[in-house]
Structure 1
């Protein structure tokens, strides 16, 4: 009797145990599939806890959906310890940020730019959204023949032997986001230097288009609601200098794309601004240069400042997207990188310590719209408005020297 009862009891417990496992398995499977087929927020930390390095999960999710956000105005995000932050946030699925990185030399953490694009079937030969069609086989890095190239820029601060040394580039000129792993093949230095970045100064019409994907980025002493105290005001100052001092006609697009229904929303700012930029370029065929002006986000104890001509001046950083994802191709990657490379070298020649190292990430940031497209981070939230404004004089000079 006791034995039969014990058998029935164990059998019942086993069935309950199996039922619980089945239910949990179904929940996990449903949540995992949600990453592919829904916009549901999927928190892997609620399913599995692991001390495995998050780079594996970051790479996995990047391959499924390049969905990231820009965290410049969130103190709780920019001040997080990145190592722990990545172990949690990098495990999230669709619509949750995957970004944050550390530049250890500056003892600061930066939250950088984002692109949110629709999840697309990467098994298909082409990818379609409401703006454009992408060819799967499009080459991201144009072919080149080094023997046929003649340098346009003569680097004065570095020797060609140094610039052709990949380790030297990584140490002195570039910072790689942890999500990417470029190789020496991604840096055809001779081609970067041989690219002619000059523009036609004689043609009528604007030559440069300045815009702001994240127009709300402001500074430590910015007056709330005052547009002139944001990166838009910084853009105004750059326009003034280029037009008055260098006689270059500039079109400044001041419209906001990171405000939705009266609230800050950067989730799809790069998508929202893409079509208007294309229309502006179409309406103004004289435009040759695009400049997207941002400001960075750093730890609160970091000041990105230098003294230039007796003025406290915010440091700047050029930013490049390598367009590593098939849903966001960019046939101008090499041109974009050549542009920032020449700007970086010229800055080192004219204003030492004015620029930080060029930062590289895997997305494209609308740099695919023109070969001469530039993404510039002006200071950070810890800089003052005047420091950011002071940075426009040297930036304009560097730009003029490269494109004249």
Structure 2
């Protein structure tokens, strides 16, 4: 009897070991069958995403997104946006932590960018070689028709959605920081969200599309953001103005110093804002109606300078497109640089919203 009992125990252990090994083999086969093709086709980043993980690359990938990759859905103002849909109260920037001694740091320096050609109380940096008289163009009303009835009139989006900032107001940054994040509370999405709240609180409908266009692939961002624009223009026929919200970068000095443009507004630091508008002087232009965008950009620049002197860098007018052929009210704005603090760029986003709202109030039809 004892021999039989021992043999029975041995058989049970053998069977359990066999089942455990079989289960492990099945798991390995499933992972290989599902993740390895993804890894081979799209690299380690997409394999991690398929496994439910995420990875922000050290440098933006230079390959196009797979055609089968669905883009994230757009987010109309008030639905799943950072914040609670109302204006955020001003809070003092949080104290910066002590730098990690294991990571290299470099200096951050403040600057303020002015200059340009004076045009009726504001400045323009004109490299377009268009020969247009900016003062004359300023007198022409923008081809924008809006009503204060809550219908969507402004589209806010970001071609380079993952552009991020320093999370604290510091005079240093980590040199290994790639300043990219898919967290909407830490990147350019949070800046556009502040502008959206202000405009909507003023009675005008806003669509804030948070689609990510530059991650995991940086190349092709503008093609993907144009698809986002067209999708929204079709879904919301009352949209008149499209604003591509970016952040700038100035490079660095030999010692690693990077610069952040700042202005003081009501005793608080805000990141400087630059409006960019383009033109197409080619014989067969893809962007023939560029003057219409210029009219809106000039009005915004003039209004911004009158409301918040020094906040807006000179309007940049150049031979560029950047999807501004999408409508007669399409512009691009740069808010701060990568070493501006989140408190500075979010405040600037609010002031950008106030500026757009003031122009909308001027143009609103009864």
Structure-2-length-normalised TM-score: 0.58
Greater fraction helix: 1
CA distance in structure 1 between the aligned counterparts of 2:147 and 2:296, rounded to whole angstroms = 18
Residue 205 in structure 1 maps to residue 151 in structure 2: yes
With over 3 angstroms needed to count, the CA separation of the structure-2 counterparts of 1:215 and 1:201, relative to structure 1, is same
Residue 281 in structure 1 maps to residue 233 in structure 2: yes
After TM superposition, give the deviation of residue 202 of structure 1 in Å: 4.3
Tell me which structure has the larger Cα radius of gyration.
2
- If asked which structure has higher relative contact order (CA below 8 Å, sep 6+), I would say 2
- Hey, what does 2:196 align to over in structure 1? 239
Please, which moves more after superposition, 316-325 or 350-359?
Answer: 316-325
Residue 173 in structure 1 maps to residue 129 in structure 2: no
CA distance in structure 1 between the aligned counterparts of 2:112 and 2:349, rounded to whole angstroms = 25
Q: What residue ranges of structure 2 are gaps of 5+ in the alignment? A: 1-57, 61-110, 168-178, 362-366
Among 203, 208, 211, the alignment partner of 1:255 is 211
CA distance in structure 2 between the aligned counterparts of 1:291 and 1:374, rounded to whole angstroms = 5
Tell me the secondary structure at the aligned position of residue 255 of structure 1.
coil
CA distance in structure 1 between the aligned counterparts of 2:281 and 2:189, rounded to whole angstroms = 29
Q: What residue ranges of structure 1 are gaps of 5+ in the alignment? A: 1-72, 76-105, 109-165
- Hey, what does 1:387 align to over in structure 2? 344
Among 216, 231, 237, the alignment partner of 2:162 is 216
CA contact (8 A) 1:324 1:363 kept: no
CA contact (8 A) 1:332 1:371 kept: yes
Deviations 1:14-49 (A, max 9, x none): xxxxxxxxxxxxxxxxxxxxxxxxxxxxxxxxxxxx
After TM superposition, give the deviation of residue 309 of structure 1 in Å: 1.4
With over 3 angstroms needed to count, the CA separation of the structure-2 counterparts of 1:253 and 1:194, relative to structure 1, is same
Residue 306 in structure 1 maps to residue 263 in structure 2: yes
CA contact (8 A) 1:328 1:363 kept: no
Tell me the secondary structure at the aligned position of residue 213 of structure 1.
coil
CA distance in structure 2 between the aligned counterparts of 1:215 and 1:392, rounded to whole angstroms = 15
- Hey, what does 2:293 align to over in structure 1? 336
Deviations 1:106-163 (A, max 9, x none): 699xxxxxxxxxxxxxxxxxxxxxxxxxxxxxxxxxxxxxxxxxxxxxxxxxxxxxxx
- Hey, what does 1:190 align to over in structure 2? 136
How many residues were matched structurally? Answer: 236
Tell me the secondary structure at the aligned position of residue 208 of structure 1.
strand
Tell me the secondary structure at the aligned position of residue 147 of structure 2.
coil
Tell me the secondary structure at the aligned position of residue 391 of structure 1.
helix
CA distance in structure 1 between the aligned counterparts of 2:150 and 2:203, rounded to whole angstroms = 12
After TM superposition, give the deviation of residue 264 of structure 1 in Å: 4.0
Among 165, 185, 189, the alignment partner of 1:228 is 185
CA contact (8 A) 1:199 1:288 kept: yes
